[in-house]
Amino acid sequence: MAHINYTETIEQLKRLNSNLFGKDFLITWQKSDDDLKQILYVAELLRYLRDNNISTRCFDSGLAISNFRDNSTRTRFSFASACNLLGLEVQDLDESTSQIAHGETVRETANMISFLTEIIGIRDDMFLGAGHTYMLEVGEALNDGFANGVLPQRPGIVNLQCDIDHPTQSMADLLHLKTTFGSLENLRGKKIAMTWAYSPSYGKPLSVPQGIIGLMTRFGMDVSLAYPEGYGLIPDVVETAAKNAAQSGGKFNVSNSMEEAFENADIVYPKSWAPYHVMQRRTDLLRNKNVEGLKILEKECLAQNANYKNWECDAAKMKLTKSGNALYMHCLPADISGVSCAQGEVSNEVFEKYRIPTYVEAGYKPYIIASMILNNKFKNASEIIEKLHSQKNKRVV
């Protein structure tokens, strides 16, 4: 991360009119522009303090509950790092070893894990139409527990990926772009190609591409979404992206050509996902525990994917981008041709060129999550940051 000017950034933060205190962070397009900017500025300031060996512990005690209902590496460790950065202790909720396995209700679980809890991070992206709904259900249970005096405070919720959005990823990506291009204003007019890419697996969530088109259209960018025919996203999210672009003065285009999307792009984001209609079928089969049906669906989808092996981010396609030198982005892990699979989303040549930048991209996520937590729990984020800065307690003595 490039060095920021502390005084300038804290003053920018003070000028914002955000509404993050006590509010769950679930979907980026439900937040105001100032809300999003506040998350970015606080993330930058937390990184500044840590880089200067200043402690960012604003909690003396308290739990952060990590509820991952799907596998994760980057987001799981980013959440743990973020909580530790602020002074919270992380406790994993393993549903297979809890009373949830015996039929405990969401309402009861949410209250039982929250007596001394400050924040709950939830990843639930397996079932289309269920992940975001589950987070809302947990939130309602927490509201009920707090209103009835069961809980001394209402823990906040951070969406660590659901079926609709992946806000910690897209916000980390936005901070990566802000840093790379110098400012949010410099992103206006920049073209980002969010494209489907071939993968030898199926069932990848829609939330990353949806998060990108839903967020980057907020900042006047030229967002080009491309996928093979039949691989569309949730229609409501696509409609939201178009509205965002119209309001911000940006552009939003949908095509069935990877080459067209890459043409003159400043940034490319080739990423596989399962078609919307496939995820709908998959959800029904999973809920009904139809193992045979899932096997049949997987076979169909892999055969369909194989028709589009040419949807690979390779050197030839990168030459189509602006000056042949667009920034390559990926949420990781990427399906790298000849490395992690025989043929995948990106050629080894392209990935190796951008491998370190993708690691840098991932490194913004702990600070984004920490910012979401801090802004949820403290009414005046700038006051907290200034207090930490003035105290200058050393993180490492």
Longest dimension (CA), the chain: 62
Report how far residue 330's alpha carbon sits from residue 244's, in angstroms, rounded to the nearest whole number.
23
Q: Is 127 helix (H, G, I), strand (E, B) or coil?
A: coil
Report how far residue 269's alpha carbon sits from residue 340's, in angstroms, rounded to the nearest whole number.
18
144 and 176 part of one domain: no
Residue 156 domain flag: yes
Alpha helical stretches, state H, the chain: 6-14, 33-51, 74-86, 106-112, 131-147, 167-181, 207-216, 235-248, 258-262, 276-287, 291-305, 315-318, 348-362, 365-377, 381-391
What is the structure's pLDDT at 287? 86
Q: What is the pLDDT of residues 83-133, one digit of tens each?
A: 999 999 999 998 776 666 556 899 999 999 999 999 999 999 988 999 999
122 and 253 part of one domain: no
HSE-up (13 A, CA, CB side) for residue 351: 20
54 and 136 part of one domain: yes
Residue 396 domain flag: no
244 and 275 part of one domain: yes
Task: Identify the CATH number of the domain in which residue 203 sits.
Answer: 3.40.50.1370
387 and 355 part of one domain: no
Q: Work out how many domains the chain is built from and give that number.
A: 2
Structural domain including 186 reads 170-362
Q: Is 147 helix (H, G, I), strand (E, B) or coil?
A: helix
142 and 101 part of one domain: yes
- For residues 309-342, one letter each, b for 16 or more C-beta atoms within 10 angstroms of the residue's C-beta and e for the rest, the string is eebbbeeebbebbeeeebbbbbbeebbbbeeeee
**For each of the chain's 397 residues, which pLDDT tens digit applies?**
557 999 999 999 999 999 999 999 999 999 999 999 999 999 999 999 999 999 999 999 999 999 999 888 899 999 999 999 999 999 999 877 666 655 689 999 999 999 999 999 999 998 899 999 999 999 999 999 999 999 999 999 999 999 999 999 999 999 999 999 999 999 999 999 999 999 999 889 999 999 999 999 999 999 999 999 999 999 999 999 999 999 999 999 999 999 999 999 999 999 999 999 889 998 899 889 899 998 999 999 999 999 999 999 999 999 999 999 999 999 999 999 999 999 999 999 999 999 999 999 999 999 999 999 999 999 999 999 999 999 999 999 8
Closest CA to 308 of 280, 278, 340, 273: 273
270 and 194 part of one domain: yes
Residue 327 domain flag: yes
233 and 302 part of one domain: yes
143 and 235 part of one domain: no
Residue 371 domain flag: yes
16 and 149 part of one domain: yes
69 and 183 part of one domain: no
Q: What is the pLDDT of residues 150-160, one digit of tens each?
A: 999 999 999 99
294 and 377 part of one domain: no
